[in-house]
Amino acid sequence: MPANGTSHLDPKSALDHLKSYSRPDGLSVADLMDSQVHGGLTYNDFLLLPGKIDFPASDVITESRITRNIVLKTPFMSSPMDTVTESEMAIALALLGGIGVIHHNQSAESQAAMVRAVKRHENGFISDPVVLSPTHLVEDVLNIKARLGFCGIPITDTGVVGGKLVGIVTARDIQFRDPSTPLSQVMTTDLVTAQQGITLTEANDILRDSKKGKLPIINSAGQFISLLARSDLLKNQSYPLASKNPVSKQLYAAAAIGTRPSDRERLSLLVEAGLDVVVLDSSQGNSIFQIEMIEWIKATYPTLEVIAGNVVTREQAASLIVAGADGLRIGMGSGSICITQEVMAVGRPQATAVYAVAEFSNQFGVPVIADGGISNIGHIVKALSLGAGAVMMGGLLAGTEEAPGEYFYHEGKRVKAYRGMGSLEAMEQGQASKSGNVKNTGKYPAPKKSDTVENAATSRYFSESSAVKVAQGVSGDVQDKGSVKAFLPYLYVGVQHSLQDIGVKSVAQLQQSVKESKVRFELRTASAQVEGGVHGLNSYTKRLFA
């Protein structure tokens, strides 16, 4: 017995004694997100309470659904902004298990070329490879190398798939050759081939054992059918989480378009290039323009996945779900470069918006994407816990090597430009001057003369015909983050460790446990937020990963 005479309970009964409490520690998600009590919440306003760890972090599965029919190995998406996602970012994200959405503040042809670059980057059997004939020139191969990034090209007698295979041209074949040399003089004719009908595993074995860079697949008549590349085998080993179409084995490609009539023509080029997911890019998704666009897309391209938005309420979401949306983007004014809430007095705190829309749309099998307000790993996990299938990141990925633009120095720091698509700079992209001359101070080629100024930024904010452009975003710069190929694995492992702390082994288990009130939450006061960050130091260095 203790010295003060107080009797204590038997320590072995502690677990049984927990059952005597009327409710578990912390708040359920429904209690936390009751906006009538707490108002609108952002990610910084709450925490998840820890659970029990009985498994290693490496066992955690981050697989999650972004549309009705597409599942990613990691819940990461890059935003369709002209300072964030072009082909290089889209390829890197897809290799690392996410997906990048190529922006549309450029010509339709340029955007389609970027989609094509993503689709050609990694394949199983390449069913539509570039093919040339013996009469083509070395110059044609060099042009393909410059445009598409590769130069291992099969040669058939007709110059198309289905012709008789007569050779192959590789990088070594054209080195130090005059551009006007016919391919018949440089192509390799001693070929290792495989017969049509071979399995991908068997073809990989032949490619590995032959030590060749390409394996042409032919039919019994010697006609060229498809191609397999050694580089894809290496990518399979280096990027086991890669986001691929399960049938074609090509990387998933996503791109954004607007909701104007001209965007229908743009979409036809993107689909022709191999597009898997189209994102309808609008600051306020609940419009007749977007509803009609969804209906047209589903009627014209029934297998194309459509992500609609942006929305922040159940009412907005319902209209787009009825129209046929396969996924929804959530967010209005929560991005680091967005000032919509400040200027327009319209929007919603992001955590509350994600929870409200996800709770509604998930009942119809429509996943949601938390778009905006993601500044760290904790925000990613909080968005997932509230029902999001993935997070869309802009500022967090801007400044990486794969983001468009050049590095420069500002106040002694190496930075890249980052701007909101609602900024005046984005709205003025390609704008014609009063004299009729084309004015262009941006990174992208200026368009030809046009009486109507229409680009991704103006259409996104319904501003094409406005005499005065009202900015809903700002321009700035972000510090160099290095390569996304190092940064994204840091986010991935961080999410794994966070879920381990919560005591769940997958994103699906996290969301189910939140529904069942097994995973609990706690509100944070302003002083609690200060306590949870770095404080009390004279100076410090913050290194995020090594």
> CA 314 to CA 355: how far, in whole Å?
10
- DSSP-derived letter for residue 21 is S
Q: 395 Cβ partners below 8 Å, 6+ apart? A: 335, 336, 337, 375, 418, 478
> CA 87 to CA 317: how far, in whole Å?
30
Q: Specify which residues 540 forms β-bridges with.
A: none
Q: Which one of the listed residues 120, 338, 348, 419 is annotated catalytic?
A: 338
Q: Which one of the listed residues 65, 348, 460, 520 is annotated catalytic?
A: 460
Catalytic residue flag (residue 338): yes
**CB under 8 Å, gap of 24 or more: what pairs does 186-191 form?**
186/138, 187/134, 187/155, 191/165, 191/167, 191/216
- DSSP-derived letter for residue 338 is B
Cβ–Cβ < 8 Å for 87, 98: no
Whose CA is closest to 132, among 182, 171, 174?
182
Catalytic residue flag (residue 460): yes
Q: Specify which residues 409 forms β-bridges with.
A: 414
* 76-78/390-393 β-pairing: parallel
Per-residue burial over 221-242, b = 16 or more CB atoms within 10 Å of its CB, e = otherwise: eebbbbbbbbebbebeeebebb
- Quick one: CA torsion of 327, 331, 335, 341, rounded to 10 degrees? 160
Task: List C-alpha distances in Å: 138 to 15, 98, 212, 317, 475.
Answer: 76, 37, 21, 53, 44
Annotated active-site positions, please? Answer: 338, 460
